[in-house]
Amino acid sequence: MKRFPVTCPSCEQQLQVKRLTCDRCGTEVEGIYPLPQLAALSAEDQAFICEFVKTSGSLKEMAALLKVSYPTVRNRLDEVIARLQPPSAQP
Amino acid sequence: MKTTQLLFSPFHRIAGGGALVSGMVGIGLAGLIGSAQGLHFDGVLDVHVGKKAPGWVFVVEGFISWLSLALLLLVAGRLLSKTAFRSIDLLGTQALARWPMVLTALACSAPGFHRYSHALMQSLVGLKPGQVPSMPAFGADGIVFGLVTLLILACTGWMVLLMWKSFSHCCNVRGGKAVGLFIITLLLAEALSKLLIGRLFLLLETAAS
């Protein structure tokens, strides 16, 4: 399966959207658009957030679902939160 | 779960109420096995062959040792951690971290360990300053004593590692500051537990007289 690239394979800088296409009529829009915050996360982080939303934000349910302990899920969430912070706010 | 993860990072999978119950069972078990041979867990890091006492005292010593460290680490975690961690996770995993003491208690019941330990103590009793002790003969009992001592050291090291992992994982803290605070808290908890257990024996002596 193709993975949605979020960082440049050459210099690891975060990628931006340059071209958008309408699948139905073929219209193309070109420009420089930054990736939405969630889309800029890794596929693993995005999957984690999806599960988190599906469990109504219950860390306890997430822990049962992932078969790990509560603090493990809490720490994983802390990592995602840190990645969502602007670089200036990161520790 | 891989064996190494189970032995050295069990808190990735186990925490909260489950860890608390398992940990308390372990503390109780170590105390009971210890009571049969006069083995006291009289401090956060201590294992000593000591004087006889009612069976419940051995169990209570373990619980005092666990709570002394767990409660002080709870305060340390609240001061240092930037995340909203649950107290039950830290209390439970700290209790579970004391399971190596069950192994220690079992190892000390090896035949010959107490005989050599007693002989060693006898050779040191009444020793004047500068006097060289006459060590007991190093036979089969001596070998058992040496091996058990090594195992006690390994189990104590393993327990401290688990205590640190519990603190680090539950409070999501790492780095030099966290290690420093853990060591200071461990030393404070050791002093606190010795003080409380000392008080317990004082109360027992007062009640007996």
Angstrom distance (rounded) from CA A65 to CA A75: 16
Digitized pLDDT (tens) for each residue of chain B, 209 residues in all: 688 888 999 999 999 999 999 999 999 999 999 999 999 999 999 999 888 889 999 999 999 999 999 999 999 999 999 999 999 999 999 999 999 999 999 999 988 888 888 888 888 877 777 777 777 777 888 899 999 999 999 999 999 999 999 999 999 999 999 999 999 999 999 999 999 999 999 998 898 88
Domain extents for chain A? 43-86
B170 touches chain A (CB under 8 A): yes
- CB-CB under 8 Å, A70 with B89: yes
User: What sign does the CA torsion over B99, B101, B106, B107 have?
Assistant: positive
Closest-approach residue (CA) in chain A for B85: A71
Number of A–B residue contacts, CB under 8 Å: 38
Q: What one-letter code names the amino acid at A36?
A: P
Strand stretches in B125-189, DSSP E: none
- CB-CB under 8 Å, B170 with A67: no
Domain extents for chain B? 3-208
Say whether the ipTM exceeds 0.90.
no
Angstrom distance (rounded) from CA A27 to CA B132: 96
Closest-approach residue (CA) in chain B for A79: B172
For B43, phi then psi, to 5°, come to: 160, 165
Across the interface, of A67, A68, A71, the residue whose CB is closest to B85 is A71
For tokens 């001592």, the residue is B149
- CB-CB under 8 Å, B170 with A71: yes
DSSP string across B148-199 = HHHHHHHHHHHHHHHHHHHHHHHHT--SHHHHHHHHHHHHHHHHHHHHHHHH
